[in-house]
Amino acid sequence: MSVSITSILKAARTHCEEEIMPNVDAWNASGVWPRASSDKAAALGLTGLYAPEEFGGQGLSLGDGIQVYEELGRGDGAYAFALSMHNICTYAGCGFGTEAFKAEWARELTSGRKLANFALTEPQSGSDASNMYSRAVINADGTWTINGAKAWVSLAGEADIYFTVVKTSDAPGHKDMAMIAIPKDTPGLSFGPRYETPSYNFLPMSEMYLDNVVVSAKNIILPVGQGLQGSLMAIDIARVSIASGCCGLMQAALDTALAYSHNRKMFKGTNLDLDGIQWMLGEVATDLEASRLLYKAAANALGTDQGPLMAAHAKRFVPDAAVKAANTCTQVLGGMGLLKPYGMDRLSRLSQMLRIVDGTTEISRVVIGRSLKARAKTLPVPVIPKGYGEA
């Protein structure tokens, strides 16, 4: 019998309160991924959320499992993001990998003994994923020789395996794209200097270089022709996961502002007695409730025809609401909101990061706009009564 979502959410909440919140500032100061902490998350079942029980996973649906990142996001959105990407790769490997790959890697990933990440974006292409230069040549013995580079690879050098999207010919388009998992210790795989990031220094991000990297055919996750379609599904899951994490960030900002304004004495009362403060925080609270409803609806739609559109709505609305919430709650704290111990600057920067990763909010607007154009074609032309608009 699958684990209950109630127990998993409780475990995630405990992990946030006991492991992330007390330590995130120290993580950022050290600039090192907290592997001991992610090992603790793994022990709680947070690294195999959607994987089948037969491989040591929790067997949760996407709709249930994605709620975990709201709990983790109260502590830190970048930490939640990294674990969400690992879970997506684990889901792909357990669901679509070869039998040989599953035998070697499935339980390593669900247990968190090994961490995984996703590599799609390239230095010259961000939102235009089909503009890909990484190439795989399929050798006579079935192995693949890969050359190219990827950008914005999170857990760079820290993850143990990278689910990498490549093209297998020079033909334009995406019909030759595939996904293959490349272990970190594969000869020819290397990483560039770490990107300098403002408020998530513990999450290593850099470019990844592939110089005549040879990978066994057993590591093929999605065969030639299915690489882009599978990647887009992974991105949809990631977008909804980010929206979930943003709700945790919004809750953290709101709770900080509430605690401060409830105790700040002024004008013969407290800040929270002022109508203006109540209205500001009330708007954040409404945005948070709307965001929760939206990401949960999107999570339940994943895998259906409405999944990509609902993911776009969630990624468009919720991170924008998180940016607004972080800024509003900082304003409520006044000058104190600028001080590092309150953490508002970190939340503001994280909310901006989450607006950008796995498809900017502008790309989500493009997806929504295309849907609206398609709907418009199905609607009758409005009939204007004779005489209206005439001189």
Per-residue model confidence as pLDDT tens digits over 254-270: 999 999 888 887 787 78
Q: Give this prediction's pTM.
A: 0.91
pLDDT exceeds 80 at position 120 = yes
Task: State the Cα angle at 313 between 7 and 343, rounded to 5°.
Answer: 60
Q: Assign domain 117-228 to a CATH class.
A: mainly beta
Top CATH class of 5-115 equals mainly alpha
172-201: per-residue pLDDT in tens? 878 889 999 999 999 999 999 999 887 789
pLDDT tier for residue 391 given thresholds of 50, 70 and 90: low
**How much is the pLDDT for 381?**
87
Residues 6+ apart with CB under 8 A from 103: none
| The pLDDT value given to residue 261 | 86
Strands 220-222 and 177-183: antiparallel
Name the band, by pLDDT with cuts 50, 70 and 90, for residue 1: very low
Q: How high is the pLDDT of residue 126?
A: 65
Report the pLDDT averaged over residues 331-335: 87
What pLDDT does residue 19 have?
97
Domain residue spans of the chain: 5-115, 117-228, 229-376
DSSP 191-220: E-PPP--SS-TTS-EEEEEEEEEEE-GGGE
CB 80 within 8 A of CB 245: yes
- Average pLDDT estimate for 286-294: 97
Alpha-carbon gap, residue 123 to 186, rounded angstroms: 22
Note the pLDDT of residue 217. Answer: 96
Q: So what's the pLDDT on residue 128?
A: 67
pLDDT at 386: 79
Classified by CATH at the fold level, domain 229-376 comes out as: Butyryl-CoA Dehydrogenase, subunit A; domain 3 (1.20.140)
Give tens-digit pLDDT for 125-175. Answer: 766 666 788 999 999 999 999 999 999 999 999 999 999 999 998 888 788
